[in-house]
Amino acid sequence: MSTERSSDTTGNSPCEPGDDLSHPPRSADLIGTSRLIIDAFDGVTDIVEVMHRNISGLAPVIGPGRPGPTRGVTGLVYRNIRRVSALTGQGLEFTLSRFAPMLANQESTARRDALLAALNGVLGDYLVASANPLAIPMELRYSGRRLMLEHQALLATIPHPSNRLLVMVHGLCMNDRQWLRNGHDHGKALAHDLGYTPLYLRYNSGRSVPENGRDFALLLEALVSQWPVPVEKLVIVGHSMGGLVTRSACLEAQHAGYHWPARLREVIFLGTPHQGATLEQLGSGLECLLGISPYSAPIGRLGNVRSAGIRDLREGNIGQVTGPETQAGTSTAPETPPRGTRYYAIAATTGSSPAAASTLARGDGLVPLRSALGQHRDPARCLPIPDSRQAVFHGLNHFDLLDSQPVYQCLLGWLTEH
């Protein structure tokens, strides 16, 4: 399937003013930001001390650097810098906490949510490990509000629930609000045209994909069991990393014996890096090169800042795929979707025509075509997506997939078939 990009102005935002559960106190933003600033200062101090130690100790050009901290007066200076940093952080946190009553009820904004999503994409695993209040918790949302997954609460929030559920899963550094682009939201439009109830996952995209997949699987189990009416059909649409999180959730559900996969009919991937994303592969290679010399290795630590979620994009990691035919010491078994579930893949290329995208190495600027279609040199790693369930759109980049009208018509056609 080939088409040019077409703009669209239909559809409405899934986001309306939310309740207090959707908006953590702004004091948490300030405290979390102050912690990040102090942590960043300490991290830079560590890098400078390591470089100082290696340069002053005349470490070899290639190989490991000098072990241990700096000594003498130099070591005393670095220790005092860290003490001052710790005291400053404690003072900032105490001062900012005093403003909590004045900031507690302020609603979030689209800009704030976008910045927070981007920060979580880059540092999300660190935010969780350091108990930073800026870490985004995973939740399902409806009309911009967090859903409480309890029967009566769901009925109160959604007065006319459908027995057909559509769950939209965003990508790296994004959030549920960003399904709305240029006035169009695939989820809202599909709900209007096909009678689904649209739900949106919000999650910390900096956590590892298997961790998010495990939590998503558990969330879906609670959703299906507590939904006010029996769920007849469940459809998931995942953009970019969202597709990997969905596949990981399917694996977790099959291993754990959850019930929701029996309701899952279609999973549609939009620009998902099933076999890896080019930029993360380049970033990993640069990190290895910088680690060769003790003089560049400290700078290479900056590359370590990227989150577990970003690292999972290097090879499209979703967790271990196992099966009865898998033998010890051999590669993992081919991945299979849950029984009764069909996988679909939509890929894009920035080339304006098939001739301009004559090689599958090309892609949407972030994800190669072969990766987005689930193709791999190793047959065991190819996804079971036949040609009839694949579509390639030309003249689109990675984010154009979110609002392209031809892409929407493709989604609509696939979901109307069954």
Maximum average pLDDT range among 37-41, 156-160, 182-186 = 182-186
Backbone angles phi, psi at 202, to 5 degrees: -120, 130
Of 9-18, 43-52, 285-294, 336-345, the range with the lowest mean pLDDT is: 9-18
Q: What are the tokens at 374?
A: 């689930």
CB 368 within 8 A of CB 375: no
Residue ranges of E strands in 292-403: 342-349, 390-394
Distance, C-alpha 173 to centroid of its chain: 6
What is this structure's pTM? 0.75
What integer pLDDT is reported at residue 3 of this predicted model? 44
Residue-wise pLDDT tens digits, 390-416: 999 999 999 999 999 999 999 999 999
Average pLDDT for the chain: 77
Superfamily of domain 132-278+314-325+334-417: Alpha/Beta hydrolase fold, catalytic domain (3.40.50.1820)
Residue-wise pLDDT tens digits, 210-235: 999 999 999 999 999 999 999 999 99
What integer pLDDT is reported at residue 69 of this predicted model? 60
- 110-129 helix and 26-56 helix, angle to the nearest 10 degrees: 50
Burial bucket for residue 226 (CB in 10 Å: 0-12, 13-18, 19+): middle
3-class state of residue 198 by DSSP: strand
Residue-wise pLDDT tens digits, 308-353: 898 899 888 999 755 444 443 334 566 889 999 999 999 999 987 6
CA-wise closest residue to 109 among 99, 117, 121: 117
Q: What are the tokens at 157?
A: 């929030």
Of 62-71, 219-228, 324-333, 375-384, the range with the lowest mean pLDDT is: 324-333
Q: For residues 189 and 269, give the distance between their C-alpha atoms in angstroms, rounded to a whole number.
A: 17
Q: How many CA atoms lie within 13 A of 379 on its CB side?
A: 0
What integer pLDDT is reported at residue 403 of this predicted model? 97
pLDDT of 52 over the 90 cut:
no
pLDDT of 165 over the 70 cut:
yes
